[in-house]
A = this chain, B = another copy of it.
Amino acid sequence: MKRIAIIGAGNVGLAAAKAVMLSPDMELCGFIRREAKRVSGFLGIPAAKSVFDLPKKPDGAIICLPSRLVEPVEKELLEAGIYTVDSFDIHEELPAMRRRLSAAAEKGGVSAVIGAGWDPGLDSVIRTLMLAAVPQGITYTNFGPGMSLGHSAAAREAFGVADAISFTLPVGFGKHRRKIYAVLKEGENNAAVEHGILSDGYFEHDECSVEFTDSVKPLFNTSHGVLIERSGNSAGNGSQWINFRMAIDNPSLTGQIMVSAMRACFLQKPGAYFMPEIPPCDFCGEGWEKVI
């Protein structure tokens, strides 16, 4: 039975906590929050500002913070000998982050699974398998329609924004539009805030628009989806077509994948890993052989 702490108590943190509680091989030993108050009465789980303040040192920590806040927290945990999982979602920064966190993990004699969410994460594994099965071809990943947790967090952190959510709308063949609904802080200027949101690296790849509104609460929902398509050649034959489609509650899926990645993390040699580097059976508990 592994003791697991959850860092952050947002949508994903709460889902990860629930997934830990439903896992027979794990015990939820604490929430880590900046405010260090109890997260929720019904959970009855200790909360602290740091894992080192918890009654017992956790074996593993699931880091459910906005991507920009992940790395220093994760480095400290790894160096202290605590296994970690994050769902850092800025694809192009992952290889360099892995090198840095691998060094920390080796120092602490533990492992990390990084980019372990939905995409990067499960989708990365699917794309890797598609590449193995159909080595010559093109893969299209189409997200949504749905609210992006990472992009919403980035928009909320922009200057002058009181609240915001960002929706991802698929245009087809890997192209997307993003629609950001934002609530201005009092006295701020629409145009300046819009420019601030859109200049974040999260938003520079896609066609984006911002709409200001009084409240984003009526728009808030966690349903999402993806369609990954690949067509191409296997063994030189061009009639191959594979697709992978999900319609999901986003924080539940992300939290669950992080918990499954935590299980696998304990089985890896010291270092930091992407999900496609891990044997899929390691994500599951006993019984996976039944699906062979």
Per a CB cutoff under 8 Å, which of B128, B234, B244, B292 touches A255? B234
CA distance A245 to B243 in the complex (A): 5
B residues in contact with A292, CB < 8 Å: 91, 94-95, 115, 120, 124, 274, 276
B276 touches A279 (CB 8 A): yes
Say yes or no: is A171 at the interface (Cβ < 8 Å to chain B).
Answer: no
Q: Which residue of B lies closest to A268 (CB)?
A: B279
| Of A41-49, A153-161, A283-291, the one touching chain B | A283-291
Q: CA A248 – CA B231 in complex, angstroms?
A: 10
- When the two chains form their complex, are residues B279 and A15 in contact, meaning their CB atoms are under 8 A apart? no
The answer to whether B135 and A125 have CB atoms under 8 Å apart is: no
Which residue of B241, B256, B291 is within 8 Å of A139 (Cβ)?
A: B291
- Give the docked Cα–Cα distance between A132 and B261 (Å): 9
Copies of this subunit: 2
Residue A142 interfacial (CB < 8 Å)? no
Which residues of chain B are near A15, meaning CB under 8 Å? Answer: 234-235, 237
A110-159 at interface with B (beta carbon < 8 Å)? 115, 120, 122, 124-136, 139
- When distances are taken between beta carbons in the complex, the residues of chain B under 8 Å from A18 are 235-237
CA distance in complex: A251, B234 (Å):
9
Q: Determine the chain B residues whose CB is within 8 A of the CB of A284 once the complex forms.
A: 128, 131-132, 135
B246 touches A234 (CB 8 A): no
Q: Which of B133, B251, B256, B279 contacts A253 (CB 8 A)?
A: B133
B235 touching A255, Cβ below 8 Å: yes
The listed residue with most B CB atoms (<10 A of its CB), out of A132, A139, A239, is A132
Asked if A132 and B257 sit within 8 Å, CB to CB, the answer is yes
Residues of B close to A249: CB separation below 8 A? 234, 237, 239-240
A189 to B31, CA, bound (A): 73
Report the separation of the CA atoms of residues A139 and B134 in the bound assembly, to the nearest whole angstrom: 24
What chain B residues lie within 8 Å of A190 (beta carbons)?
Answer: none
* Residues of chain A from 61 to 92 with CB closer than 8 A to chain B in the complex: 91
Are B235 and A256 touching (Cβ within 8 A)? Answer: yes
- Chain B residues lying within 8 Å of A280, measured Cβ to Cβ, are 125, 128-129, 132, 276-277, 280
Complex alpha-carbon distance, A257 and B134, angstroms? 8
A124-B291 CB under 8 A given contacts A135-B22, A234-B252, A249-B234 = yes
The residue in chain B whose Cβ has the minimal distance to the Cβ of A257 is: B133
Q: Which residues of B contact A247 (CB under 8 A)?
A: 239-241
6 tightest A-B contacts by CB? A132-B283, A237-B252, A234-B256, A127-B291, A19-B235, A132-B260
Known A-B contacts: A122-B129, A240-B253, A242-B246. Give 13 more (CB < 8 A): A94-B292, A122-B133, A125-B280, A132-B257, A132-B280, A132-B283, A133-B253, A139-B291, A234-B253, A236-B252, A239-B247, A239-B252, A243-B245
